[in-house]
Amino acid sequence: MVDVLVIGGGNAALCAALMAREAGASVMLLESAPREWRGGNSQHTRNLRCMHDAPQDVLVDAYPEEEYWQDLLKVTGGLTNEHLARLTIRASATCRPWMQKHGVRFQPPLSGALHVARTNAFFMGGGKALVNAYYRSAEAMGVAVQYDTPVDAIELDDGRFFAARSGERRFEARACVLAAGGFESNLAWMREAWGQNAAGEWPADNFLIRGTRFNQGVLLKYMIDAGADVIGDPSQSHCVAIDARAPLYDGGICTRIDCVSLGVVVNRQGERFYDEGEDFWPKRYAIWGRLVAEQPGQIGYSIIDAKAIGRFMPPVFPGTTAATLDELAQKLGLPGEPFLRTLADYNAACRVGTFDHTALDDCHTEGIAPAKTHWARPIDTPPYYAYPLRPGITFTYLGLRVDEHAAVHFGGQPSDNLFVAGEMMAGNVLGKGYTAGVGMSIGTAFGRIAGARAATAALHAAQATQGRGQHHATA
C-alpha cells in the first residue's frame, strides 16, 4: 500500500506529491489525462501572484500583504475567508525558491501582459514548462505516476479515506489528496448550472472551455454526494470573451480578444450592449464573457478600425476585414441597417479629446446608451476589422470546504487523512471574481499544505500499524 495517493495531475496535485515525497512518504499520482495532455488547466497558465515587500528577482517594487488582501477583498466582494486568504498570500512570498528547486524558472513579463510586472512572477516557458519541470522532479524522486486513470469513486468510512477506484482498478493508501480541478469541462453540468434563459436558450450550449477537457468534476460530484462540506455557487465561473473560432477545449490564452476597449462590441442584432471603455481592459476583460453570455445566441462582435491596430495583443485568428462597414456587416452576416445605424450613432456621439490608451482618457460619447466613457473615437478609418466573441470558461468556483490544514470536512469535522487542494477548494479564498495569478497562488499554497499533512497522516498511520503488529507479536 502506498502512503499518499494524489488524485489529479495539475499544479496543486504536483505540489502535493512533491511535498509528500520530500516528507518521506511513498507517493502515487493518478492523472486522468494521457501523458501528452497532462497538467490540467495549469499547463495554460503564465504566472503566479506573489506578495513581496521589496524587489525580488523578476518582481519590481513591492506588493505588500495588505495590498494583496485588499485586491482579493475587492474582486471577491467579501466572498473570501480572510484567514485562508492571508495564509495563501503569505505562502506566495516564500514559495518561489521551493519551485525553483523543482526546476521552475521565472522571467520578467513580456510587454503587452496585463501590467503585472509588480504583482506577478511569470513562468519561463509558461505553465507547460512548469508542469513538465514538476513531473520530471517527481519522477526523479520516485513518485509513481499513472496516466489515463480517471478516478470515479472514493472509499470512505466516517470521513476516513481508504481507497480510490478507477473503473475496475483500486488504489489503497494511508492518506489522499484530491486535486482534480473544477467541473468546467463537464458541459452537461454547466448546462444545468446556467439553466435556460428567458428566450428559451441554454446559454452553456454556446460556451467554449479555455482549458483542459479532463476537469469533468466527477470527483467533486462524488464528494458532494458523499456528504463533504461544500463552498461556492455552481452557477459562478470565471468567464472571458474569447474568439468564437477557438476550439471547444484547450484554446488557452491566445484565443483571448483584447481590442474591446479600442472599438465597439455589437450583438447579432447589430446593437451595442455595454460601455466598452468603462475601465482599463485588465480590470474589465473578465466581465465580458458573462456579458456575451447574456446576448442572443451568446455571440458578440468586437469592431475596430485601422487606428487600433498595433495597440493590443494580436489574437491567434486574423480578424474579418472589409473596406467599408457595410461590407463588414455582410461578411459577418449581421443585419446591415441596424448595424450601420449603431455605428453611425456611435461615431456621431464621440467627443474626442486627447486619446491615451494608457490612461482613463477624456475621449467619451455623449447622448447615446450605453455610453462609451473612455477611448471613444469614431470608427471611420478603413480597413475595418471584426472578431467574433463567445463566452470562454476558465474555471468554476464550486468546491470543498477546508481549514488551514487543507482537510476535507464532513458535517464540520475535518477528515484526518483526506485533503484537498487547488481549484477543488479555491472557492474558500475566491468565492467569485478573479485577480490574475491567484489561481496558482492558491494551488501552490494548499497543494504544499495538503501534501505535507497527508504525509504526516500516512506516516503516523504506518507507525500505528507497525506498533500494533509489534504488540501482537509480543503479546
Ligand X SMILES: Cc1cc2nc3c(=O)[nH]c(=O)nc-3n(C[C@H](O)[C@H](O)[C@H](O)COP(=O)(O)OP(=O)(O)OC[C@H]3O[C@@H](n4cnc5c(N)ncnc54)[C@H](O)[C@@H]3O)c2cc1C
Residues 20 and 27 sit within 8 Å (Cβ to Cβ)? yes
Least Cβ distance, residue 464 to ligand X (angstroms) = 28
Q: Cβ of residue 331: shortest distance to ligand X, in angstroms?
A: 28
Please give the DSSP secondary-structure letter assigned to residue 268.
T
12 binds ligand X (CB under 6 A): yes
DSSP 59: B
Burial 120-137 (b: 16+ CB within 10 A, else e): bbbbeebbbebbbbbbeb
Q: Which of 2, 19, 41, 407 binds ligand X (CB under 6 A)?
A: 41
Q: Shortest approach of ligand X to residue 465 CB, angstroms?
A: 27
Instruction: Find the shortest distance in angstroms from Cβ 180 to ligand X.
Output: 4
Site size for ligand X (CB under 6 A): 44
Minimum distance, C-beta of residue 307 to ligand X, in the bound complex (Å)? 29
H helices of 182-297, where?
Answer: 187-194, 218-225, 281-284, 288-293
Least distance (Å) between residue 420 CB and ligand X: 9
The C-alpha cell at 231 is 463552498
Q: Which stretch binds ligand X (CB under 6 A): 36-44, 71-79, 258-266, 455-463?
A: 36-44
Query: What sign does the dihedral 196-197-199-205 (CA atoms) show?
Result: negative
Secondary structure letter of residue 278 according to DSSP: S
Residue window 188-227: x/- pattern of binding to ligand X, with contact defined by CB under 6 A:
----------------------xxx-xxx-xx--------
- Looking from the CA of 78 toward its CB, the CA atoms found within 13 Å total 0
Closer to ligand X at the Cβ: 77 or 167? Answer: 167
179 makes contact with ligand X (CB under 6 A):
yes
Residues 383-422 touching ligand X, rule: CB under 6 A, are: 394-395, 422
Which is nearer to ligand X, 180 or 328 (by Cβ)? Answer: 180
The residue to which cell 461590407 is assigned: 327
Based on CB atoms, which residue is closest to ligand X, 277 or 431? 431
Instruction: Give the x/- contact pattern for ligand X in 252-291, rule: CB under 6 A.
Output: xx--------------------------------------
Stretch binding ligand X (CB under 6 A), from 41-49, 69-77, 294-302, 405-413: 41-49
Listed ranges 25-33, 132-140, 311-319, 363-371: which one lies at the site for ligand X (CB under 6 A): 25-33
Q: Report CA dihedral (391, 395, 398, 401) to the nearest 10 degrees.
A: -160
Candidate segments 6-14, 266-274, 353-361, 372-380, binder of ligand X by CB under 6 A: 6-14
C-alpha cell of 158?
466516517
Helices 438-474 and 11-22: crossing angle in degrees, nearest 10, is 40
Tell me the C-alpha distance between 262 and 277, whole Å. 8
C-alpha separations of 23 from 26, 124, 162, 415, 417 in Å: 9, 28, 21, 20, 15
CB of 226 to ligand X, least distance (A): 14
Identify which of residues 133 and 334 has a Cβ nearer to ligand X in the complex: 133
Q: Return the C-alpha cell found at 348.
A: 456621431
Per CB under 6 A, the list member of 2, 21, 45, 384 interacting with ligand X is: 45
Can you tell me the distance from the alpha carbon of 432 to that of 68, in angstroms, rounded to the nearest whole number? Answer: 16
Give the C-alpha separation, 195 to 233, whole Å. Answer: 14
Closest by CA to 421, choosing from 400, 446, 388, is: 446
The stretch near ligand X (CB under 6 A) out of 11-19, 74-82, 343-351, 404-412 is 11-19
78 vs 350: CA distance, rounded Å: 37
Binding test (CB under 6 A) with ligand X, winner from 277, 391, 399, 443: 443
- C-beta closer to ligand X: residue 154 or 322: 154
Answer yes or no whether residue 42 interacts with ligand X by CB under 6 A: yes
Please identify, using beta-carbon distances, which residue of 329 and 442 lies nearer to ligand X: 442
Longest dimension (CA), the chain: 95
Binding of ligand X at residue 234 (CB under 6 A)? no
Q: Which residues form the interface with ligand X (CB under 6 A)?
A: 7-13, 30-33, 39-42, 44-48, 150-151, 179-181, 210-212, 214-216, 218-219, 252-253, 394-395, 422-423, 437-440, 443
